[in-house]
Structure 1
């Protein structure tokens, strides 16, 4: 089982926090965080270039979860159970965090699922940190470890 977290953008000053979560997660799962950068935050027509980059990197059997404010919301226990089901059925789960302008429709069409971390809008950097925290919490739940701390 493998999890990739791809972000269209750079983590900048959030990178250190993300690295801490990646280190904690590595005892549970093979996980990578990949900063893909993005073409532009001012020109929506360049979203297509970002999309082509993402779609080219995906394998046919990858399960793509797009972070989207209109996606499915979970509480932590439900998210852990959903993650457990996915890990049993898939070789690689890719979580994609869009950039400041979102993602192209072609990426939305390819997504197997859309996940909402909050009804509030989050920056892509903060969304990555929240996602990593919830993934870590999920593995703690699935391993019957204390997850309130």
Structure 2
């Protein structure tokens, strides 16, 4: 199984990108020892339509087109479930153990995610009820994916 992090928009140069890259590299390095065949980052262009609903629909089509058939789809959304790191690791482990080709975590754009995409997702997760800047969400997602794999392999990074 591959881990995919799909984000609408581009992460610009700066301290957030440097921190993201640090955790993403750790994630890629740990993936090899945890039954994950690799990690991918896909940046989806922001929609160009005038109406937010049309932008969301356009972005949703691009997100779905980037997924391999049978991928497990997880969305980040402030209305999603707030899982513990251990619970999320368990979800990723179950996807891996069920031979899913990919586990794709999606971060929406400024307008959020299309409701139809929520309907197709196997899980909708939240980093809390607050709205977070896109740059920080990418960092937190990379760190939590790394933490999840460290939990799955018994690496001492996660001490709870």
TM-score computed with the length of structure 1 as normaliser: 0.89
* Equivalent of residue 100 in structure 1, options 103, 107, 110: 110
1:71 counterpart SS class: strand
Residues 1:42 and 1:15: Cα distance change in structure 2 (over 3 Å)? farther
Aligned partners of 1:41, 1:77: CA distance in 2, in Å?
39
Contact 2:6 2:105 in 1 (8 A): yes
**Aligned 1:1-149 pairs, distance under 5 A:** 1-12=1-12, 13=14, 14-29=16-31, 30-40=38-48, 43-44=51-52, 45-89=54-98, 90-148=100-158
Q: Runs of 5+ in structure 1 lacking a partner?
A: none
| Number of residue pairs aligned between Structure 1 and Structure 2 | 149
The offset of 1:77, in angstroms, is 1.8
The offset of 1:134, in angstroms, is 0.9
The offset of 1:148, in angstroms, is 4.8
Aligned partners of 1:57, 1:71: CA distance in 2, in Å?
22
1:82 counterpart SS class: helix
Residues 1:58 and 1:121: Cα distance change in structure 2 (over 3 Å)? same
Q: Runs of 5+ in structure 2 lacking a partner?
A: 32-37
TM-score computed with the length of structure 2 as normaliser: 0.84
Contact 2:150 2:158 in 1 (8 A): no
Q: CA RMSD in A?
A: 1.9
